[in-house]
Amino acid sequence: MSRILLHGRVLTPREEFPLASVLIEDERIAWVREGKVDVAGATRIAEAGDAVVPGFIDLQVNGFAGRDAAAGPGAIESMSASLPRFGVTGFVPTLISRPIGEGVAFVRDCATAESPGARVLGAHVEGPFLNPKYRGAHDPACLVLPTPEHVARFVASPPLLMTLAPELPDALEAIRALTGAGVTVSAGHSGASLDEAQAGFDAGVRFGTHLFNAMAPMHHRDPGLPGALLGDERITLGLIADGVHVHRSMLSVAIKVAGPGRIALTSDAVAAAGAPPGNYTIAGRDVFSDGTSVRLADGTLAGSAATLDHLVRVMAGLPGVDLRQAVEMASTTPARAIGIDGRAGSIRPGAPADLVVLDAALQVRLTLVGGRIAYQR
């Protein structure tokens, strides 16, 4: 039996212990005890100023470290191996709008890909049932309506998460069918009005893809999809807090309105994330990264170059937001959004040992996946 002992500030994240010890036996957490407790025969990994937190879960990863998720299982496995360096212990590979046959194949690729590092949790199919006016970096030639025939192909091969525009013809029926197949349906790339959005929520939408981005802007007399997402307690909000996609003041608004229990930090990373500036692709579309943002040739934002630990640091640096809340948005909340909160996003006896150790500067020093060291600086 392997035993690893961690000491430090421990965020469960529902509780916070200024100093506690966490014992890991094989793949699971054996116990959490206040104070510095030594265990004979355990490998001790700790440094002054460390914080032990639940592993991060990213629900929107188009690519990473030079690899595009659309390229197949090998690329997804390479992403899995690279992500623990940034504290990610579980992720959802994401495919932007492509022909439906490719979307169905992508679901299969995610199901068969192995997890050498971060756990591959399932597929996020972002499109092709999107509003062309709010397509962002999606190829307009690939966008189609959610007809019963098109939706049936995804019902037969359901992704974990699917983004669509709830105002499209047949969208409400599509939401009901996908939800019935076990899919977490998300509203995004949409010009939905408040009423159209709420109709989508009533049909089963439970997530919002990158709040504020690629949707009609919120106006005080016409709140639209952003206002509907913020105002409905049933909805978890994906938020790209990279400092590029959403202004810091609006990040503060989002957390004040929704709270950390309804915000899931999502990187929307593409192959440029975790890689040097340069030319990359997202689902076959050429993009350029300057190291801070990623764009199409016309300047349209096309995913991000950010890593999830960076988003945690951004949120933890906002007025009134502490590290415990920032970690909750990167771990517990996304786990709950996709129904795995019983298996991820917490530090408690019996839970899988998916943990991250952050140093005093909130940089990742160690990542454990199932009790195995997946990254150590």
Residues that are catalytic:
268
C-alpha distances in Å from residue 131, one per residue of 135, 166, 167: 6, 9, 8
Tell me which residue of 14, 91, 9 sits closest to 328, measured CA to CA.
Answer: 14
CB under 8 Å to 259, separation ≥6 — which residues?
A: none
Q: What does the DSSP 8-state code read for residue 211?
A: T
How far apart are alpha carbons 62 and 105 in whole angstroms? 15
Element (H, E) at 203: helix 194-203
How far apart are alpha carbons 132 and 134 in whole angstroms? 5
Residue recorded with tokens 């795995």: 340
Tokens at 35, concatenated: 């104070």
C-alpha distances in Å from residue 101, one per residue of 108, 157, 217: 11, 11, 32
